[in-house]
Structure 1
Amino acid sequence: MFKGFRDFILRGNVIELATAVIIGGAFTAIVTAISDKIINPLIAAVGSPDMGGLGFRIRPEVEATFVDFGAVITAAINFLIVAAVVYFVIVMPMNKVNELRKRGVAEDEVPPTAEELLAEIRDLMAQGNQQQVPDQRVDGDDTPRR
């Protein structure tokens, strides 16, 4: 049990994952700052002066009923920024490294499909039936001879 855990830890995936989480947390702070200080004021400028953002109140006298479209747009922009950075900084380079690693390694044989295996079995059975010598019976004798 401990050997498997040790192998898992030393394989490198855990270290890469921990690094990604730390970088992701730090980068999220940057994206949140950009959203709060740049994107939110731009979106709020589109809304009316008495609303305080892009949205509307379901009940004018209750502030908690404000439907804030600006927050949803900001969250979508945050997601797109984080996804783009993760793809271009982490995923794309890792795919390139994996591709370079695979270049030097011969590709494994592709295993046959079920249809190919069934066709091969059918052909072998047909060959086996053709190799059997047919029974030759002598007139009046029911004993098979080969």
Structure 2
Amino acid sequence: MKGFKQFLMRGNVVDLAVAVVVGTAFTAVVTSLVANIFTPLIAAIFGKPDFSDLTFKINGSIFRYGAFINSVIAFLSVAAVIYFVVVLPLRTLAERRARGQAVPEEDLVLTDEARLLTEIRDLLAERRSGA
């Protein structure tokens, strides 16, 4: 039991569990956005919000290509939301940080360890410049 408890308490397992929960919640938000915003928008443009009734028959077999069209539209809508709401803003933020346009250092909240390391760095820099 001790080994199992250590396994569960490792940071990776907890991080993964949090990621799954947040991912599930985010999936609900994106699904709602697609169903309640993008699907009516598509209906306004194309005049039909649901293509699932589109079918054709060959030798008694029914091909529901409308359901496939719905799935493709849902996938493309979700992919667009993920890209424009998550990926693009994070990429822009990373580029700003790389160019030095990140949050000014004085606006960051530093831990005690970080403050101590900053003081040590500054003292070493003074010692080098004074020697």
Q: Give the TM-score taking structure 1 as reference length.
A: 0.44
Larger radius of gyration: 1
Q: Higher helix share goes to which structure?
A: 2
Q: Give the TM-score taking structure 2 as reference length.
A: 0.49
